[in-house]
Amino acid sequence: MAAEHDDKILYDLAELFKVFGDSTRIKILYSMFENELCVNDIAKLLNLSQSSVSHQLRILKTSKLVKFRREGKSVYYSLDDEHVRAIISMGMEHVEE
Amino acid sequence: MAAEHDDKILYDLAELFKVFGDSTRIKILYSMFENELCVNDIAKLLNLSQSSVSHQLRILKTSKLVKFRREGKSVYYSLDDEHVRAIISMGMEHVEE
DNA sequence: TCTACATATGTTTAATTGTTCATATGTATA
DNA sequence: TATACATATGAACAATTAAACATATGTAGA
């Protein structure tokens, strides 16, 4: 317990949860729960500025929580994998009690 | 999507993840993964001040992530339920890739 | 009740971070 | 290549918060 190996992993784990730990980012993630969306769609849907959404998407991208593809002038974002969905769902269960 | 009902839940969800999103708190939670520990044990194990541990335990307590019982002068803390373990494990999987 | 030990809490400070505003980059079309 | 639209990025500011320090509360035993 508390070996140096764990230290690194636990640090990364905290960093991961930190990304989920902001309501703007969670809303953005949740908006993509069913299907991909482009930046502007997210901004309009959640009533956020384009800049704000873009900044947060960068963080989500860096953390590998979302992936994206460009199509013409738009960039479509979606959840990176099932882990992301699973983590959110698991948290939901705890919160909804 | 983005209904007001969701808004509240998503806010709570972010608040929940925020609690996991600090390396000190994650270390504290992880130290209790196998068995309960008293405040001093945690402080010594993780090389933290008693004050710091106590402050963080308060936050974990408020968020219902840990429970506790008093035995003489000591207070023993443990993970509140399997959800907590599940959320951490799920995050671990993502991080360890 | 006095002392020692264990834990909790209040306050201050330093550091982190989300948002805003301004601007840059990228893409398509006339 | 000039213009418009979509997205990204840089910098400054305001708000949040973890840690440190001091102190208070709680408990057991002499």
Q: Where are the beta strands (DSSP E) in chain B?
A: 37-38, 66-71, 74-79
pLDDT score of A24 more than 80: yes
Whether this model's pTM surpasses 0.75: yes
Positive or negative: CA dihedral B24, A60, A83, B67? positive
B39 touches strand C (CB under 7 A): yes
Nearest residue in chain A measured CA to CA from B8: A23
Q: How confident is the model at residue B5 (pLDDT cuts 50, 70, 90)?
A: low
Instruction: State whether A12 and B46 contact (CB < 8 Å).
Output: no
Residue nearest to nucleotide D19 (CA to C1'): B52
Q: Which helix (H) or strand (E) holds A77?
A: strand A74-79
CA count, 13 A, side-chain hemisphere, B7: 7
**For residue B22, which phi and psi values (nearest 5 degrees)?**
-140, 130
Provide the pLDDT for residue A1: 47
Region A84-97 average pLDDT: 92
Distance, CA of A83 to CA of B85 (rounded, Å): 16
pLDDT score of A6 more than 90: no
Domain range list for chain B: 4-95
Contacts of A56 in chain B (CB under 8 A): none
Provide the pLDDT for residue A97: 80
Region B19-31 average pLDDT: 97
Provide the pLDDT for residue B97: 80
Amino acid at A27: K
Distance from CA of A89 to the nearest CA of B (A): 10
pLDDT score of B6 more than 90: no
At B89 the three-state DSSP class reads: helix
- Residue-wise over B1-24: b if at least 16 C-beta within 10 A, else e? eeeeeeeebbebbbebbbbbbbbe
**Considering the domain B4-95, what is its CATH architecture?**
Orthogonal Bundle (1.10)
Alpha helical stretches, state H, A1-97: 4-20, 23-31, 39-46, 50-62, 82-95
